[in-house]
Homo-oligomer: A and B are copies of this chain.
Amino acid sequence: MTKSAAKNILFIMFDQLRFDYLSCAGHPHLHTPHLDALAAKGTRFTRAYVQSPVCGASRMSTYTGRYASSHGAQWNGFPLRVGEMTMGDHLRANNMSCHLIGKTHMKADVEGMKRLGLSADSVIGARQEECGFDIWARDDGLWAEGPKGFYDQNRSPYNEYLKSKGYPGDNPWAEFANAGIHEGNIASGWFMEHANKPANIREEDSETPWLTGEAMKFIEAQGDTPWLCHLSYIKPHWPYIVPAPYHDMYGPEHVVTAQKSPREHQDPHPVYNAFMNNQIGQTFARDEVREKVIPAYMGLIKQADDQMGRLFAYLEETGRMEDTMVVVTSDHGDYLGDHWLGEKDLFHEPSVKVPLIIYDPSPDALRGATCDALVEAIDLLPTFIEVAGGDVPHHICEGHSLLPWLRGETPDWRDWAVSEYDFSCTPMCPELGLSPTDARLFMVTDQRWKFMHAEGGFAPMLFDMENDPEEYNDLGRSDDRTDIITLMYDRLGQWGRRMSQRVTMSDAQIIPRQGKVPGGGVGIFIGHYEENDVPQDARTKYTGKASEDYT
């Protein structure tokens, strides 16, 4: 086991941040000096994949260290089964606290909690309800409201904060933080025509600075106990709108050309086609949409980077940069019109690949390194367990610690990564004539090939990432690469048979049972004919004078 000198972990997640919208990752117009500086002090992973390209499922994988079909919370709003072990369970068992500031998108298994008599009033119940975190501030940043009420039934601490700052109304998140103003009227960020307007809020009160401030307060309040702080930002996720001065730092001239090709419309895979033709795909196919949305998206990232500067400076000043691992990642990317798609959901790189930067204060850690290994989001929890000084329980956690990579070691590593997507709750499920059970996709990617299997009787998709890095040319239905398709199905089969649910027995508990202690030491003799086959001292309970004869 590789060790880290880090005592604490600052685990920063952005929401919907593309892997390539950082200057250190090569964006031509967006300058992110603070995140770049972190990368210069640590390792940037260039092939980090999420376990599902959608908020809820991806996060539940990150927080449990398990694939989406292992923990079962396979989409937004699917409750995480009561008792499923989380980051908090694992870290607290290793004397590290585990706190949340921001978003999890976790839905509690209220029925399961009721079945087990767990009340949210108790510490145990509260942690079950909050994905294992102790809550500094939970705010999922989705205070949407319609005729049926709120999307999110929780109370928003961010709205309370805004009210304390004098913002009027019941839902200043919607009216101010996520809306502009047009001729005196609310210009809601829910409608992307308004994306180029400044959000109607003081910049320092917007979501990203608010969460940064909370993180600084949290760190300030910590004593000697090692902590993990999951600082989980809401942005640059939609609604795409950002306060001044970020709203007009970028314009259409900074929008990179959409990575899409007319070839992708020629005989497309039916599932891909359904996504291209949905509302989101149709909207993002329009240049005017990209030209309004992407500058706002870039502004949100620029604001985030400035907040990173504020936060990292605070860590330096307080000495925390010397004893704290800092991790920056995202829960998934954003198509932004690439591949004729918006949002995320499918497995092209802009959606399923995320930024991942890890700074480890250990003296032997690399600085300014990049790592091309196939990393999965489920690798974070094992990394954190090792930082906390624990042994990774591999019968529960399905990933592997990244600590060796941070030192330039080359551990035994996976040759392929897996991601999944459950779209049973989307209109594409009935449109494609699928049952909710069959509306599921699986990606297998190695260093060369990316493969997607869709349940429900479809052909697979296959891209040659070396010769077609744009992922335009789907080879899934050609006869050219049946060898690769067979290989990928073999891998998917192997993965499907993985041992994911034997969570109550570790190898360390199993191995001593394999021994050949006669009768197991407890008098179980199977397949023995003669008494004398067995050592006398192992069978003393079965010998001696019979005390009665009933025969």
Interface of A toward B, CB cutoff 8 Å = 69-75, 77-83, 85, 89, 109, 111-112, 115-118, 122, 124, 128, 142, 144-151, 167-169, 171, 174-176, 179-181, 184-186, 188, 190-193, 197-202, 238, 243-244, 278-284, 286, 288-289, 342-343, 422, 424-427, 429-430, 435-437, 440, 442, 453, 455, 489-490, 492-493, 495-497, 499-505, 507, 510-511, 513-531, 533-534, 537-551
Chain B residues with CB under 8 A of A430:
514
Closest CB of chain B to A281's CB: distance in Å? 8
Assuming A72-B501, A440-B497, A489-B493, what are 18 further A-B pairs, CB within 8 angstroms? A69-B497, A75-B505, A83-B112, A117-B122, A145-B541, A147-B538, A147-B540, A150-B523, A151-B522, A167-B548, A185-B544, A186-B545, A190-B525, A191-B529, A198-B551, A342-B527, A489-B490, A495-B496
Partner among B116, B144, B176 whose Cβ is within 8 Å of the Cβ of A118: B116
B124 near A524 (CB under 8 angstroms)?
no
Chain B residues with CB under 8 A of A112:
83, 504
21 of the cross-chain contacts (CB-CB < 8 Å) are A116-B124, A144-B525, A145-B541, A146-B539, A148-B517, A150-B522, A168-B548, A174-B541, A184-B549, A185-B545, A185-B546, A186-B545, A190-B523, A200-B550, A238-B526, A280-B526, A283-B527, A435-B507, A440-B497, A455-B497, A501-B501
A190 near B542 (CB under 8 angstroms)?
yes
| Complex Cα gap A188–B534 (Å) | 12
| Complex Cα gap A455–B493 (Å) | 11
| Complex Cα gap A305–B334 (Å) | 67
Most buried by B among A142, A148, A179, A284: A148
A504 near B80 (CB under 8 angstroms)?
yes
Closest CB of chain B to A381's CB: distance in Å? 17
A69-B501, A523-B190, A548-B200 known; A426-B542 Cβ under 8 A: no
| Complex Cα gap A184–B429 (Å) | 74
B83 near A422 (CB under 8 angstroms)?
no
Partner among B179, B436, B524, B542 whose Cβ is within 8 Å of the Cβ of A188: B542
Partner among B168, B496, B543, B548 whose Cβ is within 8 Å of the Cβ of A496: B496
Closest CB of chain B to A398's CB: distance in Å? 11
| Complex Cα gap A222–B234 (Å) | 57
Residue of B nearest to A239 (CB): B525
Identify the 7 closest CB pairs spanning chains A and B, nearest first: A496-B496, A280-B527, A72-B501, A148-B521, A146-B523, A188-B542, A493-B493
B198 near A70 (CB under 8 angstroms)?
no
Chain B residues with CB under 8 A of A122:
117
Residue of B nearest to A79 (CB): B504
| Complex Cα gap A182–B543 (Å) | 11
B425 near A144 (CB under 8 angstroms)?
no
Closest CB of chain B to A268's CB: distance in Å? 19
Residue of B nearest to A420 (CB): B497
B528 near A146 (CB under 8 angstroms)?
no
| Complex Cα gap A109–B514 (Å) | 21
B422 near A502 (CB under 8 angstroms)?
yes
Chain B residues with CB under 8 A of A83:
81-83, 112, 115-116
| Complex Cα gap A496–B70 (Å) | 11
A69-B501, A117-B124, A504-B72 known; A544-B200 Cβ under 8 A: no
B516 near A427 (CB under 8 angstroms)?
yes
B502 near A74 (CB under 8 angstroms)?
yes
B510 near A184 (CB under 8 angstroms)?
no
B80 near A146 (CB under 8 angstroms)?
no
Closest CB of chain B to A496's CB: distance in Å? 2
Residue of B nearest to A453 (CB): B497
Chain B residues with CB under 8 A of A511:
436
| Complex Cα gap A176–B542 (Å) | 10
| Complex Cα gap A217–B136 (Å) | 56
Residue of B nearest to A540 (CB): B147
Chain B residues with CB under 8 A of A531:
188, 191, 193
Closest CB of chain B to A315's CB: distance in Å? 30
| Complex Cα gap A435–B394 (Å) | 12
Chain B residues with CB under 8 A of A436:
507, 510-511
A175 near B546 (CB under 8 angstroms)?
yes
A192 near B124 (CB under 8 angstroms)?
no
A188-B543, A504-B109, A507-B435 known; A193-B492 Cβ under 8 A: no
Chain B residues with CB under 8 A of A550:
176, 200-202
